Every structure is written in C-alpha cells, then in structure tokens.
Structure 1
Amino acid sequence: MRLIPLFPAALAVFLTSAACSEAQSDETTAAGTSTTEQAGKSKKKKKKDSLESRMIDAAVPGLRRVGRLDGVSESSGLALGPQAGSYFTFGDNGNVATLYQIDGTGSVTSKVDVGAKNKDWESLTRDPQGNYFIGDCGNNNSDRRDLRLLRLNPANPQQIGTISFTYPDQNEFPPKKKQRNFDCEATLWHEGKVWLFTKDPQEQTSNVYTVSDQPGTHTATRAGSIAIPGQVTDAALSPSGRRLVLLGRGELFILDGSSWADILKATPRQVDLQGAGQTEGAEFKDENTLVISTEEGNLYEFTMP
C-alpha cells in the first residue's frame, strides 16, 4: 500500500525518460532535418551510389568508383602525394587556392594553403624532388597574357616560384576561333622540363610544348602535336615511362612506346569513359592502374587494357 502513492511519480519519471529518448532519436539538425530522416536519406544515397557504380562498372570494363571527393569542389588536377597511396588535388578557377591531400578513397587528410591566387588552375604535376607545379594556364578563349606555372614545395607553400611563359606561335589575343588552341589543362614534368598539352576546342589536335621548370619568364618551345579527337584535360606518365595517358572529358587516350620520343609519335588508343562524368584529373597508382578524379567529385580506378 505504501508503494501506491509513489506510482504516479515513478510513472512520470518513466514517461519523461521515454519522451527524452524519443526526442533524442528524432533530434532536428540545424538544417531542419531529423536524424531519422537523415538516416533514410543516407541509405537512399548509398543505394543510388551503389547502383550508379554498378552501371558504370558494367558500361566501362576496368573502371570502378573507389570513393568521393566530398571535401573538394570541382577537382581539376591530380598528382601523387608525399606519402604512398596519397594524392594532391584542387578546385579549378573560382575556388580557393588550396591543395587537398587525399587518400585512395578520396577522403581529405590535410590541406595546404598556397600563397598565390587561383586564377585558372587546371593541372598539377611534380618532380622527383617533391616540387609541385600548378598549371595556372587555363585559357578557354586563348586570350590570356599571364600564363604561368606555380612551383612550390608543400612543406613551405607560401614560397612560390613563378614560371611565366608565352607560346612562340601565338601572335593574337585571342586568335580566330579555329586557331584557339592555346588552352592548357594538362601538364607533366619529365626529364627536367614541364610538358604542356593543349586542349583543342575543335577536338582534333593537342599541341605539345615544353617550358623550363625554373622560375623566370620563358618562351615555351613547340615540340610537336598529337592527333587527339577530344579535349585533353590532364596527362600522366606510367612509372616505367613507357605509357602516356592523356585524359579527355569522358574519354582516355593511351600512347605506348619504348622511349619518350616513340610515345609522342605513337597513335593514341581511345577508351570511352562514358558515364563517369567530367573527368579532369589523372595519375598512375601503379604501372597498370590509373586513378581518375572528376569535377562532380567522384574518384575512380581504371585498370589499363
């Protein structure tokens, strides 16, 4: 009988506890979405991502999505990072002047704030000493007079060496539309030089130039051209030095040779990457595996044929 007067109080405590538990399980986020709703959306997103991945895997043999670049807006370049299995990337024009170090799944592990403006960053390459070269040479209208490569070491990103350059065969800014082939979104350090591969809006020819890897004002040297039926957005050389890949938007061009000179003369093999998105960054993981990033934020691995 003495327990009866205590029952309402105990019941009140129980109901309060249950209400709090229910409130916590359906807590509203700052965006106005409950955690329950978020979980549902997360499951739907995973299902959608999984379905998309399977569709791409089926459509493009050898291509599989390995992760997302959730912390990087409009990835537009890719290069090996200082640690094994890591990479550097960045957002293109209009984004902050930051290099993002990512792992093999696209997760951002660190950030490097660069002491230079991102006018139109489009490519990234590095030399064996760990110097990185940011290609601030995006030039869609072929009218820029301030083309440059930014040389830096991520350990001291405020100390920038500027490699300013001009093309030896450009006299008009801009030239006529059919001659506007001075937009460079693909660079590659090789044998003491930075190689430039242009992006032809006519989708016929990628012109090849070289420029010094030392800071200063330079005139690039024309090294030839490659018949590419697409728009080149990045370049990567395999560890053996016997395979050059020129990435396009939703396509890939592979050039093989026993020497660099032979590679530049080779007939490209074209691989269709339809469905992968706007492919903008490429780097070799190993001799037979290419890592590809897209502006939409996907990270892929492609097993070379």
Structure 2
Amino acid sequence: MNLNIYLLLFTLLISTSCDSRKLTPVADLPSSLKETSAIEKTSNSNMLWIIEDAGNKNHLYGLDTKATISKDLEIENIQNIDWEDLTSDTFGNIYIGDFGNNNKKRKNFAIYKVSDPENANAVTTAEVISFKLPKGIKSEDFESFFLLNDNFYLFSKDNKEVKLFKIPNTVGDHVAEFISEVKLKGKNTKVTSADVSDDGKTVALLNHDRLWKLTGFKSDNFFSGSVEAIEFDHDSQKEGINFIDSNSVLITDEKTKHEGGKIYTVDF
C-alpha cells in the first residue's frame, strides 16, 4: 500500500473514532532498534526515516509501510555522538541533529545533511553544518529541531525555560542565534522532539506524556502566539514526532521491558 494512503487511512480512523488525547499504535518498530530517537517522512518518499541516539551506529534507517527496514545507510564520514532528531527539506534530503548534550559540557554541535537518502548507496557521506551557542549562554542539551524557510530551529531540553535558537541551512561553521524562551506549564517540560506543519502555521513540541501545539505566532518567534498543552493517555519515553497533515502527527517511543517501541498517531 502507498504510504500516503496508508497514513491517510489511519488519520481518518482517528478523527472519527478516537479521543484527541489518545495515542493509537499503528506499527511496531523493528526489534533490532532499541533506542529510536526520531521519525521523519520526506515529501518525495514513501519511507519513514529513523535513527538511534548516543552509543549506537551512525546509520540512517528507512522503513516501509510495514515498518520493516528497507534501507540501511551507513554514513561513513561522521560519528553518532548523540543523534537526537531528524528533519527534511522539500528536495527529499534528510538532516540529522547531532546535538544531544546530557552533561551540558558540549561546546560544538552539528547537523548532518544526507542527500537523497532513498537513492543513496548503502555506504554514503553527509555534509556538515556545525554551530556553537552565542557568548553568554551556557551549554544546553538539545533533542529537537525542524527546518523552516531554510533555517533550522532548535529547542533546548530543560525543566525550566525552553530556549529557541536559529541556525542557517548552510554548510560550514555558525554561531546560533538566540530568539526567545518560555516557561512551559507542567512538572516535566523537557522537549524531546519537534516538527512544523507543511504550511508553517503549527509547531508541535513533544514530551513523554504530552505535546504542546504552538499556533498564531509572529515571524519565527514561535512562543509569541498560542501555546496549547495536549496530554496523552499514557506515559512512555517518546522521542520522535512528525506531521502527517496540519492536524495529525506520528510519534515514536523507545522500547522498554513492558512497553514502547511503537509508531503511534495522534489527531489534534
């Protein structure tokens, strides 16, 4: 089945029969992947792309509509220091965010561009976009970003203020631009993944037990508009989010002994 039709059927099912806060599992992730940290579908591919985080292989995996690995790319010129999120452009290129920083001692961060991954060889290379944080800002942990209008937007992972930064989509070295920060409501406000709808009007920030829907913002200060918290019906280590359409997302979580390791869909 074509993936677009496949996703549409699940979207229609949820919108007619499920509560908006209910996560509906649509597939199991491959059992060989224990720590999936992102999910992304490009505009010109039927695959779902996923990665694993720190301590795992420097591989980008493409899943077919049965959630089996049909493409396994080794990226030979880079390391998986701490891969945390994926995004893509309108040409079908995938970008890997290597910016995890649990101990907050990291000074140099990177985004890796994998061109046309669906048609790439099994062993390929990536272009490197590197960046540092502005002077006066302490080292931050990141697990979430997306690409919009040829700029990357990163959200810090923190239980206090969530900081928003901007980096140009240009190969080379950069200093991130600080845009704004916000205190999200709730006890646990650590953002683990992010995405923006295709029309650029809705931003989704993921957490283990909820997401935040950002709308009505001005320019690229995404916190300047409405911030709506949508709680889930269960708590697991959710690490990846990707828009299906302007009101629906795919979500992945990591596998534990008793739960997780699935792809879910949620309707707003």
TM range (shorter): 0.7 to 0.9
Q: 1:291, CA displacement in angstroms?
A: 0.1
Runs of 5+ unmatched residues, structure 1:
1-56
Distance 1:268 1:170, change over 3 A: same
* 1:231-263 C-alpha deviation (Å, 9 max, x unpaired): 001111112221100011222111112654474
**Distance 1:170-1:250 versus aligned 2 partners, 3 A rule:** farther
- Which of 206, 219, 230 is the matching residue for 1:247? 206
Q: How far 1:277 sits from its partner (Å)?
A: 1.2
Tell me by how many angstroms 1:60 deviates.
Answer: 7.0
Aligned pair in 2 of structure 1 residues 101, 81: CA closer, same or farther (>3 Å)?
Answer: farther
Distance, in Å, in 2 between the alignment partners of 1:133 and 1:170 is 28
Higher Cα Rg, which structure: 1
Shift of 1:136: 0.6
Instruction: Specify the code of the residue in structure 2 equivalent to 1:63.
Output: L
The correspondence for 1:186, drawn from 144, 150, 155, is 144
Q: Deviations over 1:27-71 (max 9, x none)?
A: xxxxxxxxxxxxxxxxxxxxxxxxxxxxxx989744201111124
Q: Distance in 2 between matches of 1:131 and 1:217?
A: 20
Deviation for aligned residue 1:162: 1.2
* Counterpart in the other structure of 1:93: 54
SS of residue paired to 1:264: helix
Give the match for residue 20 of structure 1: none
What CA distance in whole angstroms lies between the structure 2 residues aligned with 1:84 and 1:130?
7
Higher strand share: 2
Go from structure 1 to structure 2 and tell me whether the alpha carbon gap of 1:269 and 1:123 turns closer, same or farther (over 3 Å shift).
same
Q: How does 1:1-305 map to 2 (within 5 A)?
A: 61-70=21-30, 71-81=32-42, 83-115=44-76, 116-153=78-115, 154=117, 155=120, 158-170=124-136, 182-200=140-158, 203-229=159-185, 230-257=189-216, 260-261=219-220, 263-296=222-255, 297-304=261-268
In 2, distance between residues paired with 1:197 and 1:103? Answer: 29
TM-superposed deviation, 1:86:
2.5
**Structure 1 residues 133, 277: closer, same or farther in 2, change over 3 A?**
same
Residue type of the partner of 1:114? I
**Percent identity, aligned pairs only?**
27
Which amino acid letter does the alignment assign opposite residue 123 of structure 1?
D
| Inter-CA distance 170–102: structure 2 relative to 1 (3 Å threshold) | farther
Would the aligned equivalents of 2:62 and 2:69 in 1 still touch at CA under 8 Å? yes
The number of aligned residues is: 238
User: Aligned equivalents of 1:59 and 1:112: distance in 2?
Assistant: 37
CA distance in 2 between partners of 1:164 and 1:210 (Å): 12
Tell me if the contact between 2:87 and 2:94 (Cα under 8 Å) persists in the aligned partners.
yes
Unaligned runs of 5+ in 2: 1-16, 256-260
**Equivalent residue letter for 2:47:** S
1:268 to 1:152, Cα distance in 2 relative to 1, 3 A: same
Partners of 1:161 and 1:84 in 2: how far apart?
20
Q: Give the TM-score taking structure 1 as reference length.
A: 0.71
Cα distance change of structure 1 residues 254 and 284 upon mapping to structure 2, 3 Å threshold? same
Q: Is the 8 A contact 2:157 2:190 kept in 1?
A: yes
How far the C-alpha of 1:141 sits from its partner, in A, is 1.6
Q: Is the 8 A contact 1:211 1:220 kept in 2?
A: yes
The 1:276/1:106 distance shift into structure 2, 3 A limit, reads: farther
Q: Distance in 2 between matches of 1:79 and 1:142?
A: 26
Task: Let me know the Cα RMSD of the aligned residues.
Answer: 2.3
